[in-house]
Amino acid sequence: MNDKFYLLTAVTAAIDAGHAILDVYRSPDFEVEEKADKSPLTLADKRSHEIIVQRLGKLDLPILSEEGKNIPYEERKKWDTYWLIDPLDGTKEFIKKNGEFTVNIALIRDRKPAGGVIYVPDKNVLYFALDSLGSFKTDSIDDIEAINRQVIGSAAESTAEAVDSIIEAATTLPVSYSTNRPFTIIGSRSHASPELEAFVEEKRQEHGEVEFISAGSSLKLCLVAEGRADIYPRTGPTMEWDTAAGQAIAENAGCKVFQYDTNEPLIYNKENLLNPWFVVLR
């Protein structure tokens, strides 16, 4: 199977998972459990995870997610190509009901993101990227779903045509925005830190007028990819599944993603799945 087929399948999985998340999100109430690390877990996480694993599991590639984080490193270090997923990124935003949560699916090859899909269920917005194709955004979800249903399981030629159709219906990133706006920093809505405040102050000294905007989940990487923000510094903990899809979308839109202190690229499938601090720069 080629990467375009992988992309189509990931898009379908993300959208279907997003629909399941919204069913829970729009219910009168939903239960919140607590994970071992004290972070929240909802029924939406579970349903999303089940749908994504079911869809991607048909493609004979390993799948790594938070639910599978205990897979021994000795086993997964042999993976050249695999899926890295976050069924519900921004669970705190989901619980707050501010709409800033996403479904993240990344295709990892040789420890780097080769493609990524991010679906924003509450806004019905889809971001997707694939090496050699570029990075895109669309809100034509109904059209994409119809195209996908027609080609899943079809010939490679149909897959290529479907990807071309989806791209035609999408906007190529970055989107052109006014260059008259101030230097714009985007940061976490739920994870502010003194280090982030110091970073913003440093940029004020450097650029003069600076605008700071907040967003939840992997939306921050997407907004830098769009061109709506110039930089996203992450001075706090994230896991590999939090960033991989967004990194693919940002890098294919011409951005750089690198470690905060070393300027080295982020790499994946490490023994410890915790990311270092990093920066996304347009």
Asked if residue 76 is part of any domain, the answer here is yes
Does one domain contain both 212 and 268? yes
Residue 109's domain is classified under what CATH number? 3.30.540.10
Q: Which range has highest mean pLDDT (30-34, 53-57, 192-196)?
A: 53-57
Residue 65: the pLDDT is 93
Half-sphere exposure at residue 177, Cβ-oriented, CA atoms within 13 angstroms: 17
Residue 70: the pLDDT is 86
Check whether 22 has a pLDDT greater than 60. yes
Asked if residue 136 is part of any domain, the answer here is yes
Average pLDDT for residues 31-59, to the nearest whole number? Answer: 83
The tokens describing 197, both together, are 């405040």
Asked if residue 39 is part of any domain, the answer here is yes
The residue among 137, 172, 207 that closes a domain is 172
Residue 199: the pLDDT is 86
Does one domain contain both 137 and 213? no
Does one domain contain both 39 and 147? yes
Q: Report the chain's terminal Cα–Cα distance, integer Å.
A: 33
Asked if residue 108 is part of any domain, the answer here is yes
Between 69 and 65, whose confidence is greater? 65
Contact 186, 220 (CB under 8 A): yes
Asked if residue 178 is part of any domain, the answer here is no
Average pLDDT for residues 138-142, to the nearest whole number? Answer: 79
Q: What's the whole-model pTM score? A: 0.92
Which three-class secondary structure string do you get for 76-136? HCCCCEEEEEEEEECHHHHHHCCCCCEEEEEEEECCEEEEEEEEECCCCEEEEEECCCEEE
Check whether 72 has a pLDDT greater than 80. yes
Between 30 and 106, whose confidence is greater? 106
Check whether 217 has a pLDDT greater than 80. yes
The tokens describing 109, both together, are 């090859």
Check whether 85 has a pLDDT greater than 90. yes
Instruction: Residue 233: give the domain boundaries.
Output: 183-281
Does one domain contain both 58 and 25? yes
Asked if residue 11 is part of any domain, the answer here is yes
The residue among 138, 172, 206 that closes a domain is 172
Average pLDDT for residues 89-110, to the nearest whole number? Answer: 94
Average pLDDT taken over every residue of the chain: 89
Q: How many domains does the chain have?
A: 2
